[in-house]
Structures are given as structure tokens and as C-alpha cells.
């Protein structure tokens, strides 16, 4: 019996050894993703697991202007940590050629929970998203072959890519994977609201009243789409009536369905006090304007979301509105904007 066991063991070793190539490099180390309690586990794609080396490389790339056409802009030029990775008050961001985009810069946190990217969901996965701004003529306006050639000619990147992906010949998929890995590690879940849910703090009276407005169908009813809890969004596409006829087709550009015209992805309300201005085109400068929009300002677009279509205008009092805004401020996560793991790496 023992003989058989030993033999089986030997057989297994021989079989494995027979196919194994010489391996001197132990490979990248798995990255331990730190999810604050209260947030769900993040799905990580099997073909791009998080590794220490991959995340560090992605972070460096995120902050490196080498990815833009004239090497003046990085991802971080418009996604600034201090503004929850948005563009610090700009309605529309400006690219390397001084051209403006058409939509407000979206924040970069908790992206691993989202199904698709951009206001219209045009990017089907986070890896694919990363190269769109790099190539877009109104953003970083680079030709991918140039970027890949530059990275391959760089003094340090080939070595860093080799550590992360096992080969020093850099390809586009490796670039996409590295950036997506870093982005997945940017997690926000330490707002006052999260701490309140964990029993670590209490809400002020105004914040508590605001929470009730947020959840109450007859007043705020924000919760209908900005799902309370981990993500503060259902990530669906909805027409929220900012225009009666939308100049931007929104989701319909992707689905080619007329019924999706003027629909945009419900954004998360986490860190909303840091990410002004608001809406897909940055038309509202303040949270007050946003709340006024949902209270009285919304237009009867043809495909206005049903949740809004049934709403009475002027249903929120002045008190309700200021309480609601107090609650929205409790969604700010100071840890996110100060976390050194997300900041520009030292040169």
C-alpha cells in the first residue's frame, strides 16, 4: 500500500516535471485587496489577477504623461485624487490639443463593481476602457503603436512589465491590464456614512433627516436609482430629464435603440461633494442645483425615467433639501483622497 502511494507520488512529480519549463522567476506576488467592511467582495477577472507588481506598474502608468501624444498629459491630469479622481470643477476636460470633450470626467474609485464604463457604457470592460482616452483626439490623443514603442524603448518599463507579466516585450494588452489592476485597487468605503453603518460614529440630526429624505418616496426618493449601500448606484442607464430633447444621444449611441436616447449611467453618489460639477455634461455647479433639478427642474423627456415621471414637482421643502445635502456630504471619504497608495508614486 505504501509502495503504491509512493509510486503515485513519484508519478505525479514526473508528470509535472516532464512538462515544466525552466522556471527561475517566482512570478508576481498576489495583491491583497483591502476592501473596507460593508463593501462587497470585488469580482476580479480571471485573466487579470491583481499582483503587487502589476498594481505598482499600473499606478506609475496612470501618472505618467508618456501615454499621451505629446507626453504632456497622464490619466491623472483629469483624474485628480484630491477631487475623488475627477477634474477639479471643470464641466468638460481639455485634451492635449486644447480641445474639449463632450462629457464630464467620471471619478475613478470602486470601478471593479461596475459592469461597463463611460456615461453611455460604451467601454465593455475596465481593460478596454483604459486605451480609449489614450487614443481619443480630444483627450490624450496618442497613437497606440507610438505609446507601445516608447514604453519598449524606456529605461525602466520593460523591466517593470517583465516583473508583472513575465515578458519584457511590452504589448497593448499588458498596458491595459496594468492600468486596470491599479484602478481596481482604488476603493472608497470609509465615509462618515460607512463609519456610521459600522457603529463607529453617529450622524448629525441634519444628516439623519437627510437620510430619511434620501429614502422616502414622497420626498427625495434618491434611493430608487442611487441604491443605498455599497455603490450608491444601480449602474443602469436612465433619462433624468435634464433636457426635454437631449443633444447627446447617450446610451443610444451604443445600443442604437431610440428608447435609450438621452440616457446616461447612474453615477455613484459616493464622494459627490468632491466631484462637482454634475450631470453628464457638467451643467450643474453645485449639489443645490442638482437637488433643485430633481425637485422642480426636470423636463418631461419622452423617455424620462418612470421613477421621476411619477414625481410631483416641489415635493421637497427647503429644509428637506438642505438636510439631503448634509447627508450627501456624509458620503465623502477623506481616506480616498489622502491614501498614499493611490497617489503619484515617487520618482
Partner 1 sequence: MQRMHTFKLGLLAAGLGLLLTASCKKSDSDTAPYAKLQFSFSNEAGGKPIELGPMNYVNAAGNAYSVDLLKYYVSNITLVKQDGSEVHFPSYNLIDAAVPSSTNFAIDSVPTGTYRSLKFYVGVDSARNHTGLQEGALDPVHGMIWNWNTGYIFFKHEGSFKDSTGATMPLAFHYGTDLAYVGVEIPLNDLQMEAAGRKLFIRFDLNQLYATPIKVDFNFDNNRSSGNAGDVFWQYTIRGNFPSAFSLIKSE
Tell me which residues touch partner 1 (CB under 8 A).
3-4, 7-8, 11, 14-15, 18-19, 47-48, 118, 122-125, 127-129, 131-132, 135-136, 143-145, 148, 171-173, 176-177, 253-254, 256
Shortest distance, position 132 Cβ to partner 1, whole Å: 5
Shortest distance, position 10 Cβ to partner 1, whole Å: 8
By beta-carbon proximity to partner 1, the closer residue of 175 and 331 is 175
What are the φ and ψ backbone dihedral angles of 274, each rounded to 5 degrees? -95, -10
By beta-carbon proximity to partner 1, the closer residue of 36 and 45 is 45
- What is d(CA 164, CA 151) in angstroms, rounded to the nearest whole number? 14
Q: Do the Cβ atoms of 301 and 262 come closer than 8 Å?
A: yes
Shortest distance, position 198 Cβ to partner 1, whole Å: 36
Alpha-carbon distances, residue 284 vs 211, 237, 274, 280, 287 (angstroms): 22, 19, 13, 10, 8
By beta-carbon proximity to partner 1, the closer residue of 151 and 272 is 151
Shortest distance, position 299 Cβ to partner 1, whole Å: 22
Shortest distance, position 125 Cβ to partner 1, whole Å: 5
By beta-carbon proximity to partner 1, the closer residue of 125 and 236 is 125
H helices of 198-281, in order, are 205-215, 252-255
Shortest distance, position 8 Cβ to partner 1, whole Å: 8
Burial class from Cβ neighbours inside 10 Å (0-12, 13-18, 19+) for residue 16 reads: exposed
Q: Give the distance, in angstroms, between the CA of residue 167 and the centroid of all CA atoms in the same chain.
A: 28
By beta-carbon proximity to partner 1, the closer residue of 178 and 186 is 178
- What is d(CA 346, CA 279) in angstroms, rounded to the nearest whole number? 34
Shortest distance, position 118 Cβ to partner 1, whole Å: 8
By beta-carbon proximity to partner 1, the closer residue of 40 and 49 is 49
Shortest distance, position 103 Cβ to partner 1, whole Å: 11
Nearest by Cα to 260 from 293, 284, 225, 236: 236
Give the CA count within 13 Å in the CB-facing half-sphere of 64.
20
- What is d(CA 37, CA 53) in angstroms, rounded to the nearest whole number? 25
Nearest by Cα to 226 from 262, 193, 186: 193
By beta-carbon proximity to partner 1, the closer residue of 151 and 269 is 151
By beta-carbon proximity to partner 1, the closer residue of 112 and 189 is 112
By beta-carbon proximity to partner 1, the closer residue of 256 and 318 is 256
Cβ atoms within 10 A of the Cβ of 98, count? 7
- What is d(CA 184, CA 131) in angstroms, rounded to the nearest whole number? 16
- What is d(CA 78, CA 94) in angstroms, rounded to the nearest whole number? 8
Q: Do the Cβ atoms of 295 and 275 come closer than 8 Å?
A: no
Shortest distance, position 153 Cβ to partner 1, whole Å: 15
Q: Give the distance, in angstroms, between the CA of residue 290 and the centroid of all CA atoms in the same chain.
A: 21
Amino acid at each position: 500500500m505504501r509502495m503504491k502511494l509512493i509510486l503515485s507520488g513519484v508519478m505525479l512529480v514526473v508528470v509535472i516535471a516532464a512538462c515544466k519549463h525552466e522556471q527561475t522567476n517566482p512570478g508576481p506576488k498576489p495583491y491583497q485587496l483591502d476592501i473596507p467592511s460593508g463593501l462587497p467582495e470585488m469580482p476580479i477577472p480571471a485573466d487579470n489577477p491583481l499582483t503587487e507588481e502589476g498594481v505598482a506598474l499600473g499606478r506609475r502608468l496612470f501618472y505618467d504623461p508618456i501615454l499621451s501624444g505629446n507626453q504632456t498629459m497622464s490619466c491623472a491630469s483629469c483624474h485628480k485624487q484630491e477631487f475623488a479622481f475627477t477634474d477639479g470643477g471643470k464641466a468638460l476636460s481639455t485634451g492635449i490639443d486644447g480641445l474639449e470633450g463632450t462629457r464630464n470626467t467620471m471619478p475613478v474609485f470602486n470601478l471593479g463593481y461596475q459592469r461597463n464604463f463611460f456615461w453611455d457604457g460604451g467601454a465593455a470592460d475596465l481593460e478596454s476602457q483604459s486605451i480609449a482616452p489614450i487614443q481619443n483626439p480630444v483627450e490624450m490623443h496618442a497613437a497606440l503603436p507610438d505609446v507601445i514603442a516608447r514604453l519598449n524603448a524606456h529605461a525602466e518599463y520593460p523591466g517593470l512589465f517583465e516583473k508583472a507579466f513575465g515578458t519584457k516585450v511590452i504589448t497593448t494588452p499588458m498596458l491595459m491590464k496594468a492600468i486596470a489592476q491599479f484602478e481596481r485597487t482604488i476603493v472608497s468605503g470609509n465615509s462618515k456614512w460607512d463609519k456610521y453603518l459600522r457603529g463607529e460614529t453617529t450622524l448629525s440630526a441634519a444628516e439623519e433627516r437627510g437620510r430619511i429624505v434620501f429614502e422616502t418616496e414622497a420626498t427625495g426618493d434618491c434611493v430608487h436609482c442611487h441604491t443605498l449601500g455599497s455603490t450608491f448606484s444601480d449602474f443602469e442607464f436612465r433619462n433624468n430629464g435634464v433636457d426635454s430633447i437631449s443633444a447627446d444621444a447617450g446610451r443610444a449611441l451604443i445600443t442604437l435603440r431610440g428608447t435609450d436616447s438621452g440616457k446616461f449611467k447612474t453615477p455613484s453618489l459616493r464622494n459627490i461633494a468632491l466631484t462637482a460639477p454634475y450631470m453628464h455634461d457638467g451643467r450643474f455647479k453645485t449639489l443645490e442645483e442638482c437637488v433643485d433639478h430633481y425637485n422642480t427642474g426636470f423636463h418631461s423627456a419622452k423617455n424620462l425615467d418612470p421613477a421621476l415621471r411619477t414625481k410631483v414637482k416641489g415635493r421637497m421643502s427647503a429644509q428637506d433639501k438642505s438636510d439631503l445635502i448634509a447627508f450627501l456630504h456624509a458620503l465623502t471619504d477623506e481616506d480616498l483622497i489622502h491614501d498614499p497608495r493611490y497617489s503619484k508614486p515617487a520618482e
